[in-house]
Amino acid sequence: MRAAVLQGPGDVRVERVPDPVLPGPGGVIVTVERTAICGSDLHLYHDAPTGAGIQLGHEAIGTVAEVGPDVRTLHRGDRVLVSGVVGCGVCRPCLAGQPNVCEAGQAAAFGTTAGLPGGQAEAMAVPFADSFALPIPEWMADEAAVLLTDILPTGYLGAIRADIRPGSTVAIIGLGPVGIMALQCAQLFGPARILAVDMVPERLARAERLGAEPIDARTAPGSQQVLAATGGRGAESVIEAVGADATVIDAVSCAAPGGTVSVVGVNLSMALPFPMGLVLLNSLTLRSIFAPIPGTWAALVPLVQSGRFALAETFTHRLGLSEVSEAYRLFDSRTDGVLKVMLDPNG
């Protein structure tokens, strides 16, 4: 089959790889129909020495082609969306939809290690499918199904963990795909204001259309502008959706005393110059999470069905898998109004 394989820094190619095989009696093989590029894929894209040879992608939907003998809830021919994060599948957290805290220490995202090939491919193997794959309701659009594999749950968890109160002010740092999901999820909790910080004009305009107050960080540091917009107090809830050292520090710097900073951007740095003094003196709560995707589906699927989210315009570009090199270049460039790229494995 064909799959997107990371070869080096900035070098993703479509290659012929072996077809997937059942990953145990509780697994399934899924023929991928739609897949997407995530911002966290760019960490590997930029730092290929840690991931050269990996089959990329953790956002995929498709049809079950083969079923292990122990699978109870899925059947051949079912259309499913696949959790981007999986675990051992048998411990209490995994069975409760929380593979991020897998007791066996096996929490991982598809397409980030050689042992868990990703979904930017014609097919993928899904272990413990009863826990980590969800049948797609007939009413659900493919776009929404793909978003439920990772970034909508991540944005939702970012909002929940930000302790948003009715009438409060929320600041969102970064208006990429996760930030846009976090913005819409923050609105579920009744804040009076959402301040949206970014440097890309198209992303700021999109946030404004969704009801946020745009803050252009090209003109002055985002944290300074959030403080100015709140009369020097800061935002009671801050969601960081980028993962860069500078944006994490920005998020802490613009939080109101007693506020909460929720970091859902991926930052694996062990050398982050963390402003602990601000956290201590302002009595801040800081939270971060490796998103437990399946645990969010019970809440998010009804919200999607009720039309609470504007999801149709999230995918600004659609390309075939054969064009994956161009797709990564475009997504990384943040040009041409790109927000998120959908890939067709048949293209």
Domain boundaries, the chain: 2-150+292-344, 153-288
Q: What is the pLDDT of residues 307-342, one digit of tens each?
A: 999 998 899 999 999 999 999 999 999 999 999 999
Does domain 153-288 correspond to CATH entry 3.40.50.720?
A: yes
32 contacts 119 by C-beta, under 8 angstroms: yes
Residues 119 and 30: their CA atoms lie apart, in Å, by: 9
Does position 52 have pLDDT exceeding 80, yes or no? Answer: no
Q: What is the pLDDT of residues 58-116, one digit of tens each?
A: 999 999 999 999 999 999 999 999 999 999 999 999 999 999 999 999 999 999 988 99
Q: What is the pLDDT of residues 154-177, one digit of tens each?
A: 999 999 999 999 999 999 999 999
State residue 267's pLDDT score.
83
Write down the CATH superfamily of domain 2-150+292-344: Medium-chain alcohol dehydrogenases, catalytic domain (3.90.180.10)
Residues 184 and 302: their CA atoms lie apart, in Å, by: 15
Q: Calculate the dihedral angle through the C-alpha atoms of 341, 82, 110, 198, rounding to the nearest 10 degrees.
A: 40
Give the pTM: 0.95
Does position 254 have pLDDT exceeding 80, yes or no? Answer: yes
State residue 48's pLDDT score.
62
Residues 223 and 254: their CA atoms lie apart, in Å, by: 5
State residue 50's pLDDT score.
64
Buried b (16+ CB within 10 A) or exposed e, 174-197: bbbbbbbbbbbbbbebebebbbbb
Confidence category of residue 49, pLDDT binned at 50, 70, 90: low
Confidence category of residue 207, pLDDT binned at 50, 70, 90: very high
CA-to-CA separations, 189 to 68, 163, 180, 305, in angstroms, rounded: 41, 9, 15, 18
Average pLDDT value for residue range 1-25: 96
